[in-house]
Structure 1
Amino acid sequence: MLGRRAAAGVGEVVRRVGAALAVGACATLIVGCSALGPADGTGPPEASAVAVHGTFAVVGDSIADADSPDFAAGDLGAGSWATYVVDDGFAFAGGWAEWGATTAMMADSVGSIEADVLVLLAGTNDVAFGIPFDESAANLDRIIDVVGIEDVVVVSIPPMDALPAGADAYNEHLEDLAGDRGWRFVDASAGLRTTDGRFRDGMSFDGLHPSVDGARVLGEAIAGELREGLREG
């Protein structure tokens, strides 16, 4: 399992605060998420806000954890999109995320979680490692089966400045998969993206991870989808 450490690769070195991850020729980037505790179904973290709209659980990588002091306990950082979902009135019920996590690592590590909705933002590292989407899809199925939450929102992965076409293709496949499985898909990363598939100015600090402003855009779009689900329900 990849942790908060730097890995040198041929090509561009991608930096985040206190950590850098890079692999492969032609700047194949590894993005993950900072370490979270396992989701063991023990209930919402004590630090979570009181639910106004309901509770949400998260499975993801560094895009979710970002700078959170203790993501699994609900101690969220300003760089985590989950912060802005909580600000919108949803209570964080826990989850799992780890720096460098692929969908396979998530599927192998996550446990059951009790929440109204599962938000799954996963796949950046799969793109970085060149994992075929069929394998990613099977892992997403496993994650959702294990977590055991019926209402599932899958979120587009953010841009990857070194691999814009890879992120775009993944998101297209993800939207199709969500339609086939009956999951809700939200292109929450649309507000981060230029027409050529890279980050808009100010939306990332390294071409891979959202900045605080980018995390806010991402989180507000996810919260909007969660509110839409409440109206439809």
Structure 2
Amino acid sequence: MAAVLLAAVAGCGLAADDSRPGTGAPATSATSSSPAPTTAAPAPPRTFVAVGDSITAGATDVSQPLVEDRVQGDASWLPAAEQASGVDLVAGWAVPGATTADMLAGVEPTDWTADVVVVMAGTNDLARGVPWQESAAAIEGVVAAAGAPAAVVVAIAPNDTRPAARNGFNAALAELAGRNGWTYLDPWTEVDAGGAFTPGASPDGVHPTPAVAAAAGDRIGRSLAALG
């Protein structure tokens, strides 16, 4: 397997709950000059790091991992996400064939500083029969290692061989995100046919075409831009 790469992981969290219970505070006198305290809105993210496997690296060859902020493969969602969001990719760890356990072992954010960590992980766990509980613990470990203020976990791509398992994984992933206060995002809806790829969206039933990866990256990028 490729040498362990150091990269940046930074967290990205769910948007704050917008519900605000009524206060019904009594009216103040006309002579009162004390303004009500205000809370500044969170600043939009400016940087992010990414953790994933071949779909993030954009290549199926283990010799083409993500190197810091440089994408070597031609089917990664990262360039489109960066362009759509205006948020800079500053580092990452993405190796073709990586499981969530590989990601946890490979991510060492000694020098990472970013506003958001984006994690797309689990396709290879399905292929190897990794129990969900182990995948969930590894994903939580990756996000924790990032130590960033926010985290986005992205649904795994459609899978022609294991469509039902893929759907079950994403349902569990969405629940995990909600429990941890992360943002869950599914950018694959337009090429999802019951858990499998729509015709022409994948060359092998597992990886998206470059055009599909770019479209997914655009959706991820717009979601990043909306955080804050």
Provide the TM-score with structure 2 as the length reference.
0.76
Q: Percent identity?
A: 38
Whole-angstrom distance in 2 between the partners of 1:136 and 1:154: 13
| AA matched with 1:228 | A
Aligned-residue offset at 1:106: 0.6
Residue 50 (structure 2) aligned to one of 49, 55, 58: 58
Structure 1 runs (4+) greater than 6 angstroms displaced = none
Structure with bigger RCO (C-alpha 8 Å, 6+ apart): 2
| AA matched with 2:198 | R
Whole-angstrom distance in 1 between the partners of 2:45 and 2:181: 22
Which string of whole-angstrom CA distances, capped at 9 and with x for unpartnered residues, describes residues 162-196 of structure 1? 110111000000000000000000011222211x2
Q: 8 Å contact 2:51–2:118 — kept in the other structure?
A: yes
| AA matched with 1:121 | M
Matched, 1:144 2:136: no
Aligned-residue offset at 1:71: 2.5
Whole-angstrom distance in 1 between the partners of 2:224 and 2:165: 27
Superposition map of 1:59-74 within 5 A: 59-67=51-59, 71-74=66-69
| AA matched with 2:91 | G
| AA matched with 2:136 | A
Q: Which runs of 5+ in 1 are unaligned?
A: 4-34, 42-51
Counterpart in 2 of 1:116? 115
Whole-angstrom distance in 2 between the partners of 1:73 and 1:129: 27
Question: 1:169 is paired with a residue of what secondary structure?
Answer: helix
Whole-angstrom distance in 2 between the partners of 1:182 and 1:66: 28
Question: 2:196 is paired with a residue of what secondary structure?
Answer: coil
Counterpart in 2 of 1:21? none
Aligned-residue offset at 1:75: 2.8
* Structure 1 residues 203 and 39, CA gap change in structure 2 (3 angstroms): same
Matched, 1:86 2:103: no
Aligned-residue offset at 1:114: 1.3
Superposition map of 1:172-187 within 5 A: 172-187=171-186
Aligned-residue offset at 1:58: 0.3
